[in-house]
C-alpha cells in the first residue's frame, strides 16, 4: 500500500472543495493506504471543539491520521489540547518527514 499526505489549507466554511479532499482522504484510507490529512492555515478552523465540520469526523472514522499545524493553531488562538476527537496538533516537520519518506502529496 502507498502512503499519502493531503495538506488542507482551506476551511470547509469558505470552500466547497474541502469536502472533496476529505472524501479523497477517507477513500484512500478505506482502500488500505496510510493516509495523513495535515490541516494548515485556515484548514485548522474545523478542528476547534464544538465546530461541526462536515466530513472531518468521517475522515477520522476512516482511519486517516488528522494533524493540525501547531503554528496555525496558535495564530488563530485555538488551544491545541482542546481539539475535536481524532485531531492532534503537530509541527510542520511532519510534512517534511513524510515527503522525505516518499509519501505522495497533494496540497489544497
What CATH number is associated with residue 50?
3.40.1260.10
What the block records as the C-alpha cell of 28 is 484512500
pLDDT given for residue 54 in this prediction? 60
Q: Which residues of 58-67 are buried (b: 16+ CB within 10 A; e: fewer)?
A: ebbebbbbbb
| pLDDT < 70 positions in the chain | 51-54
Give the Cα separation of 30 and 54 in Å (integer): 18
Q: Which residue has the cell 469558505?
A: 14
**Direct distance between the N- and C-terminal alpha carbons of the chain, in angstroms, rounded to an integer:** 23
In the DSSP assignment, the letter for residue 84 is: P
Instruction: Please give the residue range of the domain that contains residue 56.
Output: 3-107
The rounded percent of the chain whose pLDDT value lies above 70 is: 96
pTM given for the model:
0.93
pLDDT given for residue 37 in this prediction? 97
Give the Cα separation of 64 and 26 in Å (integer): 6
Q: What share of the chain is helix, strand, coil (3-state, %, to 5)?
A: 40, 25, 35
pLDDT given for residue 77 in this prediction? 93
Give the Cα separation of 102 and 52 in Å (integer): 33
Q: How many domains does the chain have?
A: 1
Contact status, residue 35 vs residue 65, Cβ threshold 8 Å:
yes
pLDDT given for residue 64 in this prediction? 97
Indicate the pairing of strand 34-39 with strand 65-69.
Answer: parallel
pLDDT given for residue 4 in this prediction? 98
Amino acid at each position: 500500500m502507498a502512503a499519502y499526505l493531503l495538506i488542507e489549507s482551506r476551511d470547509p466554511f469558505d470552500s466547497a472543495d474541502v469536502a472533496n479532499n476529505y472524501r479523497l482522504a477517507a477513500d484512500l484510507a478505506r482502500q488500505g493506504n496510510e493516509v495523513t490529512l495535515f490541516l494548515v492555515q485556515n484548514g485548522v478552523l474545523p478542528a476547534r471543539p464544538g465546530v461541526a465540520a462536515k466530513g472531518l469526523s468521517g475522515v477520522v472514522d476512516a482511519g486517516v491520521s488528522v494533524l493540525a499545524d501547531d503554528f496555525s493553531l496558535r495564530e488563530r488562538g485555538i488551544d491545541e489540547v482542546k481539539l475535536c476527537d481524532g485531531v492532534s496538533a503537530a509541527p510542520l516537520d511532519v510534512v517534511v518527514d513524510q515527503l522525505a519518506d516518499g509519501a505522495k502529496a497533494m496540497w489544497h
